Chain A
Amino acid sequence: MTSLPQNETPRKLGLVIDLDICVGCNACVTNCKEWNTGGHSAPLTDLHPYGRDVDGVWFNRVHTFEAGSGRDHRVVHFPKSCLHCETPQCVTVCPTGASYKREEDGIVLVHHDWCIGCKLCAWACPYGAREFDEDAGVMKKCTLCIDRIYNENLNDADRRPACVITCPAGARHFGDLGDPNSAVSRLVAERGGYDLMPELGTQPTNKYLPPRPRRDHAEATGAPDLLEHLDEEDQPGGFLGWVDRLLSR
């Protein structure tokens, strides 16, 4: 059923990604591939893995951006995966019912046996979250590790998405963003978590936390912002000047 759930989903499971902490190590990318190539969407096909034109299906990719210059310069590592939107346009365009949003927790999934491979969902997603598996001929996407988070064979601590569990920096959080008192919701409220491309009305569940203001300027400690510049004319005369000229030769 590609019509969206009629009522608001009671739970809105999703991720909160902290751009202040992410170091761009790609551990989440790798563990996502590792888990999912054996899980619900298996296999995550790789085409020509040892050839010149390596290609393959990945659910999570890290882009690195920079902005500003000089002291305003920032480098931001930016992991991107499905945002499990509240109004996912990828779902409503699906002609077969293969794409759907779960009523109980808001997770957006693909029923691979129904997918005809028309790729319209990938055109409708603004974020590039869906990747087509050329080999299987069906669309695949992040499942929020649905086969981990509800897996009763795992310890409680392990019932979290593979990307979250593996992040060595603690930049990724998983939880119920529909519950205003959950740890992730409080984090979003405290840090000013935001949506990607809010102007498109997709209402993403996943939130991004902005980098904190920088505190590495001398000004912040009360010291002078910059040391006085020593011009050519201010060079010392006398004996020290003579030594300087001698050594500068």
Chain B
Amino acid sequence: MHPALSVIFFTTTAGAGYGLLMMLGVLAPIGILPPDRVFGAVALALALALVSTGLFASLFHLSHPERSWRAMLQYRSSWLSREGVAASVTYLPALVFILGWVGVGNTSGTWGLMGVAASFMALVTVLCTAMIYQSLKTIHEWHNSLTLPNYLMLALMSGGVWLSALVHLFGIQAPTVDAYVIAYTAIAWGLKVAYWNHIDTTRHPSTRRTATGIRARGAVRLVDPPHMTDNFLLKEMGFRIARKHALKLRRITHVTAFAVPLVGLVVALVLQGPVAAGGAVVAALSASFGVVLERWLFFAEARHTVMLYYGEGPA
């Protein structure tokens, strides 16, 4: 699948924003994060900025953004529509929660409940995003039960590393945050390894034979394509990445998305002061880069059944 930059930008930035919101909305009401108004303003502003720029980027993926309100209508059948509804609804409790934390300096009681509600809606939005991909039977690399947990844990991890960085930069004593984010990163890494293992060892049930129904003996081969230049289908669905390049990019993803952040977060957890803050910031920057690379690969490695008609895939 063609890795469109607007979709990669949307899913990674909004994912990090929703991950951050998920943590803030729960950790502040239960008292792990203090109701510090400046810290709350910066952390919530970062979360909403990531979410909002991500959503804005997704509109650029559309040819008719002026009609995008229509995308809320078909929530009964479409995961993309559900994502739009969930993303919009999330703003309501999130804004009330901001009012409580930043305006009143209170993250308990009803204000806290609004935080938990915002956290829950952020979770629902990320699950809807993941289901857009997981529900497509045409793409083996997406239509498997690892897509959804991967999206969820990468959102928590990529939002969590920024929370950890902010906590240390503000000098707040909250080692629990580091411990949570270390756990998220380890789980996300494990899931990504399982995902890559899954797509390397299994394949889509469709073949050129089932796609064409040609029952002659031997492999079905394309002799003559229907057009000489790339059409919409080949530009959108025909993107290919060489195996050796994919493996190299996977290795860079292992290091930048998971290994470096884990080391940085452990440094942040066990040490104190500027060294700990430095570790957390390095973890955040490295993880953010790594997740973009991971998302690029998620698209680049995905293969669509339509390419069977262009002579690719199993015979």
Residues on A close to B: CB < 8 A?
Answer: 1-4, 19, 24, 29, 52-58, 61-69, 72-76, 78, 80, 89, 91-98, 114-120, 122-128, 131-132, 134, 137-138, 194-201, 208, 210-211
Asked, given contacts A72-B218, A92-B77, A123-B1, whether A116 binds B212 with beta carbons under 8 Å apart, the answer is no
Tell whether, in the assembled complex, residue A124 and residue B70 are in contact, meaning their CB atoms are under 8 Å apart.
no
Tell whether, in the assembled complex, residue B216 and residue A199 are in contact, meaning their CB atoms are under 8 Å apart.
no
Q: Which residues of A lie under 8 Å from residue B206 when comparing CB positions?
A: 126, 197, 199-200
Other A-B pairs beyond A55-B229, A80-B226, A208-B213, 4, CB < 8 Å: A29-B226, A67-B221, A116-B67, A199-B206
User: Shortest Cβ distance from A27 into chain B, in angstroms?
Assistant: 14
Tell whether, in the assembled complex, residue B213 and residue A196 are in contact, meaning their CB atoms are under 8 Å apart.
yes
Q: Which residues of A lie under 8 Å from residue B225 when comparing CB positions?
A: 63
Asked, given contacts A63-B224, A116-B64, A124-B136, whether A210 binds B229 with beta carbons under 8 Å apart, the answer is no
Q: Which residues of A lie under 8 Å from residue B232 when comparing CB positions?
A: 55, 57, 122, 131-132, 134
Interface size of B as a range: 35 or more
Interface string of B74-94 (1 = CB under 8 A from A): 101111110010000000000
Tell whether, in the assembled complex, residue A118 and residue B224 are in contact, meaning their CB atoms are under 8 Å apart.
no
Q: Which residues of B lie under 8 Å from residue A19 when comparing CB positions?
A: 214
Tell whether, in the assembled complex, residue A118 and residue B221 are in contact, meaning their CB atoms are under 8 Å apart.
no
Tell whether, in the assembled complex, residue A95 and residue B212 are in contact, meaning their CB atoms are under 8 Å apart.
no
User: Shortest Cβ distance from B25 into chain A, in angstroms?
Assistant: 26
User: Shortest Cβ distance from B292 into chain A, in angstroms?
Assistant: 21
User: Shortest Cβ distance from B14 into chain A, in angstroms?
Assistant: 16
Asked, given contacts A55-B229, A95-B70, A96-B74, whether A66 binds B306 with beta carbons under 8 Å apart, the answer is no
Tell whether, in the assembled complex, residue B211 and residue A3 are in contact, meaning their CB atoms are under 8 Å apart.
no
Looking at the complex, which one of A66, A89, A94, A138 makes contact with B221 (CB distance below 8 Å)?
A66
Say yes or no: is B117 at the interface (Cβ < 8 Å to chain A): no
Say yes or no: is B220 at the interface (Cβ < 8 Å to chain A): yes
Tell whether, in the assembled complex, residue A67 and residue B214 are in contact, meaning their CB atoms are under 8 Å apart.
yes
User: Shortest Cβ distance from B136 into chain A, in angstroms?
Assistant: 6
Name the CB-closest residue of B to A67: B216
Listed residue (A58, A116, A124) with the most chain B CB atoms within 10 angstroms of its CB: A116
Name the CB-closest residue of B to A113: B67
Say yes or no: is B194 at the interface (Cβ < 8 Å to chain A): no
Tell whether, in the assembled complex, residue A96 and residue B135 are in contact, meaning their CB atoms are under 8 Å apart.
no
User: Shortest Cβ distance from B181 into chain A, in angstroms?
Assistant: 33
Tell whether, in the assembled complex, residue B63 and residue A63 are in contact, meaning their CB atoms are under 8 Å apart.
no
Tell whether, in the assembled complex, residue A198 and residue B84 are in contact, meaning their CB atoms are under 8 Å apart.
no
State A30–B1 Cα separation when bound (angstroms). Answer: 29
Looking at the complex, which one of A64, A92, A96 makes contact with B73 (CB distance below 8 Å)?
A96
Tell whether, in the assembled complex, residue A96 and residue B306 are in contact, meaning their CB atoms are under 8 Å apart.
no
Name the CB-closest residue of A to B143: A200
